Structure 1
Amino acid sequence: MTAALPIPSASSTSITNTTRTNWHAVWQFIRPYWSSDEKWKARGLLFTVIALALGMVYLDVQFNAWNRDFYNALENKDFAAFRSQLWRFSYLAFIYIAVAIYRIYLMQALEIRWRAWMTRQYMDEWLENQAYYRLEQTRLADNPDQRIAEDLQFLTNGSLTLSLGLLSSVVSLASFVGILWSVSGPLSFMLSGQQWTIPGYMVWFAIAYAGVGSLIVFWIGRPLVDQNFNQQRYEADFRFGLIRIREHAEAVALYRGEIQEKQQLGTRFQRIWENWWTIMRTTKRLNATSTFYAQFAVIFPFLVGAPRYFSGAITLGGLMQISSAFGHVQESLSWFINAFSSLASWKASVNRLAGFHAAVVAARTHVSGITVERNNVGAILLDRVTLHLPDGTVLTEPLSAEIRPSQRILVTGRSGCGKSTLFRAIAGIWPYGRGSIEVPNDARLLFLPQKGYLPIGTLRAAIAYPAAENAYKERAILHYLEACKLPHLLERLDEPDNWSQRLSPGEQQRLAFVRALLAKPQILFLDEATSALDPQTEEQLYDLLLKDLPNASVVSIAHREAVAKYHQIRWQFVHAAEDAAALARATQQQRYTILPSKTGNS
């Protein structure tokens, strides 16, 4: 049985980042939770928080009226009225404090519920159809951990805080603009020999004051959205570099790579430093404008209201009520100014989530050129399978082959010729290429890569992964730990640890064999799964494997020729252009399936 395949070099795909998101897309992020299975709890909490926010506006109106009566009592030296207003202030303040506390408490409860729901949705999307794996291959989105952990928190917190703040500002404006209009009265003045009268003049002053301030703040602070977007990305890159050193601490230490790691981390932090100073300069200009705007707003109503007070048109209480009402109107109209920095950070997070969501959807819905289907034949069938790299570069020539029950197949070839990629295609996680693969309906497949995965937790859970921690009987686990030359781990089954950092590569490979022997797959794929073992241990594990799984199909990738004696058939990748003689020699051997290939990475 003969077949053929090739292999070029991989090219990296650039990371795509979304720095612009329209408001329709923003609504698409926000809407699903409010129509989900939690909608009634969510809406109930939201309506309660809104009611409390509106209650605070109502109390502000009461305090505004209190200002007038209290200062009138002071002006008139009316002690009875003064004492009455103190009691009035006391119960208003008590109610206000209670409302403010529960408004924040219930809003935080709503925020964590919303965030938990969004996190579950994003984790499901990220993990579904191996989207997380394809994102790493295509590099369509950077730092998915940060986007799920931090950006979702910014989205939920910012959406609630900003929207409720805007709602309170609108209601406060509607409540106080009428008060300000009535108490400020008209302003009359002479201009060009003609008398002009502006009714409710303080309202127009407040609108003009807030309008000019908003335009200036928007012009100054607009770059903050992109700057915050970049800052979040640089922070995540720096944190990822630190985590990488933790994960590969031993290798870095053995290589004495501290200087190189320090340089790389320094380069990543330099990006944070430079972008942070850019944010600082923008924030300084923004703060200078908004602080001047806020401070001048304190004295502004007294300046424009003083003429009517000194003319006797209004009382001291009326002036204080005008000042209070003007402050509320001006603050409501200044919502955009006060919230601009938070709005910029929130928008940056939304943009990052939009890019991440688009990348996940693209990864999940990517139309695979290699179809993997189930059959009733009882064998794995490969029909003209061609492997590509993610960028479309052709990796192999078409291959047609089969893996029958109880067959033992050795896959060999130069490093980077496509051996591991072929395993990935059979596993259904490599969509790049053409052709079809059929897998038996009820077949249990297990893949042991060269570098396995051990989750953080108890050793028992690490051995059972991906099954539940209690999936296997303890006696069986102890038996195979002993058989796989891991007697020193017998007493540590229930010890939690980061086992990938505690065990040597050889111990991890032996532990992977324990996992395989417990799982008893019908078809087992070993991708250099014994490369870290000495020849004697390697032979013992293969003997154990064939003894305890006599009916299983075993497909191995290995570079040691000693492994060949445990297999019946060899699939050999041969570079067709460079090794024509080797191809001809190998084709004459009945135990060989020849896979002609190009040069490249597996």
Structure 2
Amino acid sequence: MAAVSKYLTAKNSSIAGGVLLVLYLLKRRRRRQGGSHGKAKGSDLVTDNDKDAKRDRAAVDKAFFVRIGQIVRVMVPRFLCMETGYLLFIAAMLVTRTYCDVWMIQNGTMIESGIISRDMALFKTHFYAYIAAIPGIALVNNFLKLGLNELKLRCRERLTKHLYDQYLTGYTYYKMGNLDNRIANPDQLLTQDVEKFCNSVVDLYSNLSKPLLDIGLYIFKLTSAIGAQGPASMMAYLLVSGLILTRVRRPIGKMTVIEQRYEGEYRYVNSRLITNSEEIAFYNGNNREKQTIYGTFKKLVDHLHNFIFFRFSMGFVDSIIAKYLATVVGYLVVSRPFLNLSDPRHLHSKHSELLEDYYQSGRMLLRMSQALGRIVLAGRDMTRLSGFTARITELMRVLKDLNTGHYERTMVTHQERDSDAEEKLTLVPGSGRVINVDNIIKFDHTPLATPNGDILIRDLCFEVTSGNNVLVCGPNGCGKSSLFRVLGELWPLFGGELTKPERGKLFYVPQRPYMTIGTLRDQVIYPDTFEEQKRKGISDQVLKEYLDNVQLGHILDREGSWDIVQDWMDVLSGGEKQRMAMARLFYHKPQFAILDECTSAVSVDVEDFIYSHCKTVGITLFTVSHRKSLWKHHKYYLHMDGRGSYEFQPITEDTVEFGS
């Protein structure tokens, strides 16, 4: 390469520079390819930096137009819909406003001509015409705003419902936060980013269509007035300046993606503080939480500072190229036919005619240059829109993957866990089979593993039929909660077969029950609605019996109505919430119920009645509890030692002694 460089330099420096540039680019490409191949051989896992770089990449390119096309098809699903109607309505208002602008230029020129020439009749005619046109022009402008705002709202409604239909399908909302780690803050994406995207895309439609219409109309008018060379010069300037600014603005898309990600992280740490305020207060953790919030906020502020300075520099360039230089080009174009003394159009024109022609042509050219500037500046909005488009598209892709059973998460490399490498490679999420059969739960050679492939039990085999309660015990981290997540189909199967009833026939009662937003009735019948309760034929009197069974009848007496709305998470104590969850269990009457330390805050006598009542109504229980008094309500125990082994045996007197 050095020899070739020396030879070419001696012959021709420009050729040498070109050849060296090509050789340098080829060399860089080979290095990148070699690095990527070496990385693929070393690990088949994606690192956080690689994922962030891929996720942050956003620009106005072919991928952007493909992405935005996919989203627009969601917001405007068919030709005959309200969104299309508003698009046509906005287009009609834009056309009307453009013709209003042209009329105002012509009418204003005639008013000024009447003033300069002291022609009272000419002045009055066009002055009164302007006054008469004011209500119509104002109506057109506000109709345009109405159409834009309605279109933004309808697009947001369509896109939000589409995303929530996928997000709340099955357990997708759970999988996104617990199995897949590609989306860190879905709440921000579903609310703030969707709103910003819809506003940006509708504004872009308006900001592009109106200038394009203005340019077309003003080119037609100006060609007849000053010739085709003037508008052609302005269009050439638009093309050159647009290409320059589009290239310079490319970082805006990536910076927008990073800004929204940091905003999401900042909101997340604040929501954690609110959610866990009691625990943090007991630990006196305010200073530690303040450091966490300040650290997250500092990342956001530092990025916004950089973004502000970048936009400052871009604003400086935009102002020069899209605003002032466009005006300079406009002056040069409009002055040419007037300053060229050999131009036949103005050889015999009077001063007033020249003035009138200049005002009319100049204002049209000024409006045309402003329209050209708006199109150039619309590239800035499009670059920012590319960031929102990339985030919404990523959300739609992840939702589609999760709804088809595919998820991704960052895991430790195989080299760090050599002992499990071969075994880990054989585990494929979703490779097991779930068989829905009533009144039986059977694990048939099923590995119990976490979503990222950590094996808790290699080969789990046991069978439970209705009427045989099972007590699940073992140390923390042994896999009790993992077993229940697999039973509830929250986690995928990594092999074998799992025979179980359908989802609706298996109920889970956690240690800290969830109290929904709504009435007292809603707490008992959740997730059913009042209409579903009536369809099941369960009266409010039966609901009262469920509350009495768990000694919560006094709550209905205290509140006075089933339809009273309270913040039940705060109104009910810990024990009352656990008993409310058991009343909810009696209402649903599933075939199997998983009780995960759900009576830890309940007295022994109430607990004893609850377990006896479950047996009476035919609910088979899987119970996690450390209370010795509960062993008598179960026929089998499943003991996990936390080291990959388990024992499933009938409960005898010796077993009870062992369990204590």
TM-score higher than 0.5: yes
1:71 and 1:320 in contact (8 A); partners too: no
Distance 1:139 1:12, change over 3 A: farther
Q: Tell me, yes or no, if the aligned pair for 1:372 and 1:436 is still in contact at 8 Å.
A: yes
Residue among 355, 374, 381 paired with 2:436: 374
In the superposition, the TM-score normalised over structure 2's length comes to: 0.78
Task: Kindly indicate whether the alpha-carbon contact (under 8 Å) linking 1:443 and 1:523 is maintained by their aligned counterparts in 2.
Answer: no
Instruction: Kindly indicate whether the alpha-carbon contact (under 8 Å) linking 1:459 and 1:496 is maintained by their aligned counterparts in 2.
Output: yes
Contact 2:506–2:590, Cα closer than 8 Å, also in 1: yes
The verdict on how the C-alpha distance between 1:150 and 1:443 changes in structure 2, with shifts beyond 3 A counting, is closer
Among 602, 611, 619, the residue aligned to 1:545: 611
Corresponding residue number in structure 1 for 2:359: 320
Task: Provide the rounded CA distance (Å) in 1 between the counterparts of 2:608 and 2:393.
Answer: 49
Q: 1:347 aligns with which of 371, 386, 400?
A: 386
Q: State the shift of 1:447 in Å.
A: 0.9
For normalisation by structure 1, the TM-score amounts to: 0.85
* Alpha carbons of structure 1 residues 29 and 305: separation in structure 2 relative to 1, 3 Å: closer
Of the candidates 203, 207, 224, which is equivalent to residue 231 of structure 2? 203
Preserved contact between residue 13 and residue 139 of structure 1 (Cα < 8 Å): no
How far is 1:299 from its partner? 6.5
Q: Distance in 1 between matches of 2:623 and 2:147?
A: 58
1:566 aligns with 2:599: no
**Shift of the alpha carbon at 1:145?**
1.2
* 1:221 and 2:249 are equivalent in the alignment: yes
The 1:342–1:305 alpha-carbon spacing in structure 2 relative to 1, beyond 3 Å, is closer
How many residues end up aligned between the 2 structures? 556
**Residues 1:240 and 2:268 aligned together:** yes
Per-residue CA deviations over 1:189-215 (Å, capped at 9, x if unaligned) read: xxxxxxxxxxx4432442344345434
Q: CA deviation at 1:370?
A: 3.2
Q: Which amino acid is 2:488 matched to?
A: A
Deviation per CA, 1:231-290, whole angstroms, max 9, x where unpaired?
111112111221222222211212211111111111111111011101101111122233
Q: Distance in 1 between matches of 2:592 and 2:198?
A: 46
Q: 1:143 aligns with which of 185, 189, 193?
A: 185
Aligned: 1:407 with 2:468? yes
Structure 2 counterpart of 1:165 = 207
1:424 to 471, 485, 495: 485
Give the structure 2 partner of residue 22 of structure 1: 64
Contact residue 18 and residue 354 of structure 1 kept, 8 A: no
Where do residues 174-573 of structure 1 align in structure 2 (5 Å cutoff)?
174-185=216-227, 200-292=228-320, 293-295=322-324, 297=326, 301-302=330-331, 304-306=333-335, 308-309=337-338, 315-366=354-405, 368-375=430-437, 378-440=439-501, 444-469=505-530, 471=533, 473-486=539-552, 489-490=555-556, 491-492=558-559, 493-531=562-600, 533=601, 537-547=603-613, 549-550=615-616, 551-573=618-640
SS in 2 for 1:451: coil
SS at match of 2:170: helix
The answer to whether structure 1 residue 75 and structure 2 residue 134 are counterparts is no
Offset of residue 502 of structure 1:
4.1
Letter in 1 for 2:434: V
2:614 and 2:385 map into 1 onto residues whose CA distance is: 57
Q: Letter of the aligned partner of 1:66 in structure 2?
A: N
**Equivalent position amino acid for 1:152 in 2:** V
Tell me if the contact between 1:309 and 1:316 (Cα under 8 Å) persists in the aligned partners.
Answer: no
Percent of aligned positions that are identical: 22
The 1-side partners of 2:209 and 2:231 are apart by 20
SS at match of 2:458: coil
Q: Provide structure 1 residue ranges, at least 5 long, that are not aligned to the other structure.
A: 1-10, 186-199, 593-602
Q: Cα offset for 1:432?
A: 4.4
Question: Highest relative contact order (Cα 8 Å, sep 6+), 1 or 2?
Answer: 1
Asked whether 1:104 is paired with 2:171, we answer: no
Q: Is this contact kept in 1: 2:111–2:123, CA < 8 A?
A: yes
List gaps (5 residues or longer) in structure 2.
1-44, 348-352, 407-429, 653-660
Letter in 1 for 2:212: V
Is 1:127 paired with 2:147?
A: no
Spell out, residue by residue over 1:220-240, the C-alpha distance to the aligned partner (whole angstroms, 9 max, x if none). 432111111111111121112
